[in-house]
Amino acid sequence: MSAVAEAPYVGREMRRKEDPRMITGRGRYIDDIAVPGTLWIAIVRSTEAHARIISIDKSAATGRNDVVAVLTGEDLAGDFAAPMAMVWSPPGVEIKTPEYWPVARGEVKHVGDPVAVVVGRDRYSVIDAAEHVVVEYEPKPVVVDPEKALEDGSPLVWEQFGTNRTHEWKVSGGDIDAALADADVVIEQRMVNHRTAGGAIETRGVLADPNGDKITLHSSTQIPHILRFVLSLLLGIDEDNLRVVAPDVGGGFGSKLQVYPEEVIAVALAKRLNRPVKWIETRSEAMMATHHGRDQIDYITLAANSDGTLTGCRARVVADLGAYQLLLTPFIPELGFPVMGGCYKIPAIDLTFEGVFTNKFCTDAIRGAGRPEATYWIELMMDKLADKLGMDPLELRRKNFIRKEEFPFTTALGITYDSGDYEGTLDRLLERLDLEAFRREQEELRARGIYRGVGFSTYVEVCGLAPSRAVGPQGVGLQAAFWESAMVRVHPSGSATVFTGASPHGQGHDTSFAQIAADRLGIDPQRIQVIHGDTDQGPWGWGTYGSRTISVGGEAVARAAIRVQDKAKEICAALLEAAPEDIELVDGKYRVRGSPDKFKTMAEISGAAHIPPQELPTDIEPGLEATAMYDPENFVFPFGAHACVVDVDAETGKVSVVRYIAVDDCGPPINPMLIDGQVHGGITHAIGQALYEQVVYDDEGQLVTGTFVDYAMPTAAELPSFETDRTVTPSPVNSLGVKGVGEAGTIAATPAVTAAVLDALAPLGVAWIDMPLTPRRVWEAISEAQNGGAQA
């Protein structure tokens, strides 16, 4: 018998439980929390990209009204027990990791580096005072281009290493040399996957509140438990004396999967001053001091036989890591490696990753983190190969797809893809997009000078981090684990609370976790509250990122709820004088199989669990709650097929997305409405990268895109409505069959958009343009192609 109720809540479109607060302005985000007596923090940040600090004159700031303290890196030296943390230590590879203190000591390495901290009584006055801290710098040579940084004689970000190369990490499978030597066709391409920002509309912020020996840090974070763990090491405070609370978090996208200097500073100051302290990042600060993403140059080689059968692929990735190593900085480019090669059978894969220091802020995880880059290159290389072979790009894909019946499929790299039906999603996509009709329309439009193009992406991604042994110390080498936890507690009157170690920030798990628990408990989801983001409530957990929360955290909820169900059946059986195995949960009733009139409700059972009646055997423990820690045996591999249609104005270079169709497969949906929402947002994030967004530093290391004026995120006016559809291929990895979907759209969409632009411009002879495909870049590519590739 299934352990799940007959008419499950899982699978239903259900309005979100979190929304009534948020649509009425009653959400509680970090800056909405006020504690009496709070002091404000402002950070004095470096205006130089690389310099020695000659002097810091605090006097004009210290003397101002409302200022309580002005502290430099030297002043705070005794407040920090250890430098900022980076947690990747791959076996056999040394990663150069400089000491990174929350406030600079002696030198600054990028624009925005904290050089002093001002504490005062008012939001505005600390910013005034910060402007009166006078810092004298001796500028040092700056390097911003990662390939120049690798050249001999380049300025060094860290002289002690004698090089800007942080590390090299390799992984391969199959005989790549033979594959390249024997192939009929070998194509190569250099691709730039440029630096982007997370762009959460809520910036970061912290409020550290001391009470006796205990300090509570409220932080806009995706990882409260990890944050507490790392803070305890960096500050020398035991975890029992630290509480981290993530309130409502206004978007993360990986940018809040971090332990930041300001979080360390706030707790240190709360401890030092014994006062609550608050810091709310301005958007200008966010652009320079919240980690960036992507920023890699990829040299790709793809080899095939003349019939289109892929024989090998090689990638050399040069990743610009910025000036320091933060939590996962050097690992993010590599994070895509399990799906390098995409959804294709490739017998030989050879990957090399090089990290590079530059005088910019750190890169780290931003939505997709390594997999958008991996998907970008394999999908665009498939198009190029098709072009070279004179094959249809979709036929080339079909020819090389891992077939449905071949799962679980182990790739050349030894990664086992759990399940898939790549033809199925592509077929579904083509039901929605009549390609022949499109090609006819495209011809007609071209005749009228309108350049329309279509681009495809048949992606597979890897998510659901976990499994701890694969990514942990003896696996890939992260000094961490990635299981997830849930505690399910049924209250005496029959409602329930689910505590999760995950830390959602927009994904809607208050609702979807309630749906999962509801089916297994026999309780209406409206009577199940989900609690997350507080290290003092519920079990330890690893947070929300990497599209892991449903497939790891959701499975933990399912398991904990089943444990509660088992105990409820045991109690029910005792009350009804039946055998526990004869109790079934149907329509919210625990009833005796074959005697539907003999039943107990969860309220009756939970009442008996909490206030045991005489007939309940004394060997049944009181209470009705259970905890599950779940560490999966494998990743999950969502996949799909996307198509993007664009119009390009050849006169101006402006690209307009006119249609976007996404068919995704993330297993059985928990709440389909939430999946569509994730896909919409994910696609938009990628369209932003493909067409508009770029973090730009000039040659002196000054940040050119310092605000939302210069960092152009897409608005509603630039986008069409999206067409979404699904196929359902369950994962064998977890009992729900689910795979994550938070990043899928972002992973899938950049190649689809780029391919669409290249398709549109094919008649003009444009073969390649690096993102972002801004009007200027597109226009330049067109004119260059029209002038026979002549140098501008």
**Residue 751 contact partner, candidates other proteins, ligand FES, none, CB within 5 to 8 A by sort of partner:** none
With CB cut-offs between 5 and 8 Å by kind, which of ligand FES, other proteins, none does residue 387 bind?
A: none
C-beta nearest to ligand FES: residue: 201
**CB 192 within 8 Å of CB 770:** yes
Binder of ligand FES out of 201, 437, 709, 790 (CB under 6 A): 201
- The option from ligand FES, other proteins, none interacting with 18 (CB < 5 to 8 A, set by class) reads other proteins
CB closer to other proteins, 377 vs 711 = 711
Q: Using CB distances below 5 to 8 A depending on partner kind, what does residue 116 bind out of other proteins, ligand FES, none?
A: none
**Identity of the residue, 27 or 174, whose beta carbon is nearer to other proteins in the bound complex:** 27
Rounded to a whole number of angstroms, the minimum distance from the CB of residue 549 to ligand FES is 16
Q: In the range 490-519, which residues lie near ligand FES by CB under 6 A? A: 506
Shorter beta-carbon distance to ligand FES: residue 506 or 701: 506
Which of ligand FES, other proteins, none has residue 716 at its interface (CB below 5 to 8 Å by kind)? other proteins
Output phi, psi for 386, to 5 deg: -60, -45
In a 3-state reduction of DSSP, which class is residue 616?
Answer: coil
Contact mark string toward ligand FES, 578..597, x via CB under 6 A:
--------------------
Question: Binding partner of residue 19 among ligand FES, other proteins, none, CB under 5 to 8 Å per kind?
Answer: other proteins
Q: 226 to 285, contacts with ligand FES by CB under 6 A? A: 251
Shortest distance in whole angstroms from residue 747 CB to ligand FES: 19
Q: Take residue 6 and report the two structure tokens written for it.
A: 């007959």
Residue 439: other Cβ atoms inside 10 A: 11
Identify the helix (H) or strand (E) that includes residue 422: helix 422-432
CA distance 679 to 692: 19
Residue 612 interacts with which of other proteins, ligand FES, none, CB < 5 to 8 Å by class: none
Could you count the other beta carbons within 10 Å of the beta carbon of residue 681?
18
Least separation in angstroms between CB 200 and ligand FES:
7
Least distance from other proteins to the Cβ atom of residue 682, Å: 8
Q: Which residues contact 442 (CB under 8 A, 6 or more apart)?
A: 452, 453, 454
Q: State the binding partner of 717 from other proteins, ligand FES, none, CB within 5 to 8 A by kind.
A: other proteins
CA 676 to CA 16: how far, in whole Å? Answer: 14
At 330, is the secondary structure helix, strand, or coil? helix
Tell me how far apart the alpha carbons of residues 19 and 309 are, in angstroms, rounded to a whole number.
50
Which strands make up the sheet holding 107-108, listed edge to edge? 107-108, 51-57, 134-139
Output 18 or 725, the one with its CB closest to ligand FES. 18
Give me the amino acid identity at 24.
T
Residue 27 and residue 105 in contact, taking contact as beta carbons nearer than 8 Å: no
Closer residue to other proteins, CB minimum distance, 76 or 528 = 528
| Least CB distance to other proteins at residue 644 (A) | 13
Question: Of 411 and 678, which CB lies nearer to other proteins in the complex structure?
Answer: 678
In Å, what is the CA distance from 658 to each residue of 453, 544, 646? 10, 33, 5
Residue with tokens 């002549």: 790
Nearer to other proteins, 397 or 642 (CB): 642
Beta strands 205-211 and 292-304 are unpaired
Show the site string, 454-483: x = touches ligand FES by CB under 6 A, - = not. ------------------------------
Question: By C-beta, is 19 or 182 nearer to other proteins?
Answer: 19
Cα(652)–Cα(451) distance, integer angstroms: 12
Tell me whether residue 202 or residue 664 sits nearer to ligand FES (CB atom): 202
Beta strands in 274-424 (DSSP E): 277-280, 292-304, 310-322, 349-357, 409-410, 416-417
Q: Where are the beta strands (DSSP E) in 103-252?
A: 107-108, 114-120, 134-139, 165-173, 185-197, 205-211, 214-219, 242-245
Site residue total, ligand FES (CB under 6 A)? 3
Angle between helices 261-273 and 224-235 (to 10 degrees): 60
- CA-only gyration radius of the chain, Å: 28
Measured between its terminal Cα atoms, the distance across the chain in Å is 72
3-state SS record for 264-305: HHHHHHHHHHCCCEEEECCHHHHHHHCCEEEEEEEEEEEEEC
State in angstroms the smallest separation of the CB of 10 from other proteins.
11
Nearest distance from C-beta of residue 195 to other proteins, angstroms: 17
3-state secondary structure labels for all residues of 198-216 = CCCCCCCEEEEEEECCEEE
Question: Which does residue 680 touch among ligand FES, other proteins, none (CB within 5 to 8 A, set by kind)?
Answer: other proteins
In terms of CB distance, is 198 or 261 closer to ligand FES? 198
Residue 282 beta carbon to other proteins: minimum distance, rounded to whole angstroms = 5
d(CA 80, CA 88): 21
Q: How far is the CB of 182 from ligand FES (least distance, A)?
A: 51
Cβ-based nearer residue to ligand FES, 261 or 504: 504
Nearer to ligand FES, 251 or 472 (CB): 251
Contact status: 790 vs ligand FES (CB under 6 A): no
Q: Which of residues 622-651 bind ligand FES (CB under 6 A)?
A: none
Please give the residues from 157 up to 186 whose contact with ligand FES meets the rule CB under 6 A: none
Residue 358 CB, nearest approach to other proteins (Å): 26
Pairing relationship of beta strands 484-490 and 496-500 according to DSSP bridges: antiparallel
- Sign of the Cα torsion 784, 787, 789, 792 reads negative
Provide, rounded to whole angstroms, the least separation between the CB of residue 572 and other proteins.
24
Closest approach, Cβ 249 to other proteins, in A, equals: 7
CB of 216 to ligand FES, least distance (A): 25
Angle at 116 between CA 112 and CA 119, to 5 degrees: 115
Cβ of residue 724: shortest distance to ligand FES, in angstroms?
Answer: 18
Our CB check for ligand FES shows the closer of 155 and 677 to be 677
Torsion sign across C-alpha atoms 544, 548, 550, 555: negative
Residues near ligand FES, by CB under 6 A: 201, 251, 506
